[in-house]
Structure formats: structure tokens, C-alpha cells
Amino acid sequence: MRGVALCAGRPAGDDELDRGLAAFLEHYKANIAVHSRPFDGVIEMIERFRARGAATAICTNKSEAMSRLMVETLELRGRLLRVSSHIIRRAM
């Protein structure tokens, strides 16, 4: 909220914040992997773990839906047993 207040010169209302968040999430979804990729060596590391019988997963602070979309887009689904996420909600 402080960022909106600094840019707009006034506090943002809940409706304005909700619309802004919805617009951001739609843009983020449409561009989920434009600037994202696994770190160098991660794919090879996952494959080595799997070859030794280890289960592999991703734990992220993204929403589960966005996490799954990114995993699909980056073609990682077959390499992972699970995607786990935690959503931090803004205080009411």
C-alpha cells in the first residue's frame, strides 16, 4: 500500500488493491517463464538424485497454481514428485 501511496499521492483502497493484484497475477501468469529458468546444474543434480532413488520436489512461496504452471512451462513435471507452496495473504 505504501508504494501506491507514494506513486499516486494517496492511499489505495481495498478495491483498487484487489484490481491491481488481479492485473499483476494475470500478467505474471501470461509471462510465467519469460525470465525464469532453473539455475545452472539443477537439472543434472535432480537427475543424479533420481538415479539414486531420491524423490524430488519444489517448495516455493508462489501459489500452487502458478508453481505448477511454471513447472509445466519449464518442462520439469516429469522430474518432480511434488510441488508444494505456501501463500502469504495480506492482513485484513
Q: What is the C-alpha separation between 15 and 72, in angstroms, rounded? A: 32
Q: What is the mean predicted confidence (pLDDT) over 37-59?
A: 92
Q: What is the DSSP string of the chain?
A: -HHHHHHHSSPPPHHHHHHHHHHHHHHHHHTTTSS--PPTTHHHHHHHHHHTT---EEEESS-HHHHHHHHHHTT-GGG-SEEEE-PPPPP-
pTM: 0.68
CB 58 within 8 A of CB 71: yes
Q: Which of 9-13, 45-49, 63-67, 78-82 has the lowest mean pLDDT?
A: 9-13
Cα distance between residue 29 and residue 69, in whole Å: 8
Confidence band of 80 (pLDDT split at 50, 70, 90): confident
